[in-house]
Amino acid sequence: MGHPRPTSESSSSGEEDGDAEWKAAIESIAATTTFGSSNTTTTKRETVEADREHPSDVRKLKHYQLKAQKMLDDILEKTLEVANDPIHVPDSETMMNDGGVRLFKHSSPGIVFDHIDEFQRPTKRPRILPGLVIEEKSKKFKQLLQSIVVDGADIIAAARVASQKSLNRLEAKDAAAKEKTKREEERVAELKTIRGEKWLPSMAREMQRNSVPRSKYFS
């Protein structure tokens, strides 16, 4: 017996059902792909962050890698100082006024020179007393002015007076010397008349003998 042939109505309804199923399958696949891609992206991000925080959980290091990492950590702990607080960058003025030599910009001065003793200004205000008030027409003011003011004529007059005084002193000294010489001559003349001319040479020898020092006699 042969199979019955489908009619045109059954064939058209079957095609519509197949199209509907095909569209539903495509939509479900598209939705699954979009959701899966988004989930995959977020999963990858979380995995990368977890790898950064705990790298040892993802991959196991070998023995030589662990040893090298330990040596590097020891070197860094001994040589570097990790600071969590923000570093205070000093101003240029403070860096110049430190009085030391800086090897780097943000390092402490390695060589510190002796601080120079700066001149300390007075802390208190000086007390200035008012001066004496002198009237210009008073006698005291004229005397002060006369003692300060220098006049050429006064200087010349004072020089003349001083020169005259020194000349008078010199003349008096010369007159005294002449008077002494004159008295000596008169005395010698009087001795000549009394004792004669022979007395003078003997007296001269006696005077010369007395003028010789004693050390010569005792030698």
Q: For position 171, what pLDDT does the model report?
A: 95
How far apart CA 191 and CA 176 sit, in angstroms, is: 23
DSSP helix/strand/coil, 89: coil
Is residue 110 within 8 A of residue 101, CB to CB? The reply is yes
Q: What does the block give as tokens for 19?
A: 């199209």
pTM exceeds 0.75 for this model = no
Dihedral angle, C-alpha 29, 31, 33, 36, nearest 10 °:
-130
Cα gap 160→198, rounded to integer Å: 54
Cα(92)–Cα(74) distance, integer angstroms: 35
CA distances to 17, 154, 157, 165 from 160, in Å: 153, 10, 5, 9
Tokens of 180: 């002494």
DSSP letters for 6-74 = P-HHHHHHHHHHHHHHHHHHHHHHHHHHHHHHHHHHHHHHHHHHHHHH-HHHHS---HHHHHHHHHHHH
Q: Give the span between the Cα atoms of 39 and 37, in whole angstroms.
A: 5
Per-residue pLDDT of the chain (219 residues; tens, 9 = 90+): 444 444 444 455 555 666 777 777 667 665 554 444 444 455 555 555 555 555 544 467 788 888 888 888 888 777 777 666 666 665 555 545 555 566 666 766 666 666 666 677 778 877 777 777 777 788 888 888 877 877 778 888 989 999 999 999 999 999 999 999 999 888 888 877 776 666 666 666 766 776 655 544 444
The pLDDT value recorded for residue 151 is 74
Structure tokens at 47: 């995995």
pLDDT for residue 7? 47
Angle between helices 152-195 and 199-211 (to 10 degrees): 120
Q: What pLDDT, on a 0 to 100 scale, did the predictor assign at position 107?
A: 64
Residue partners of 109: CB distance under 8 A and separation at least 6: 98, 99, 100, 101, 102
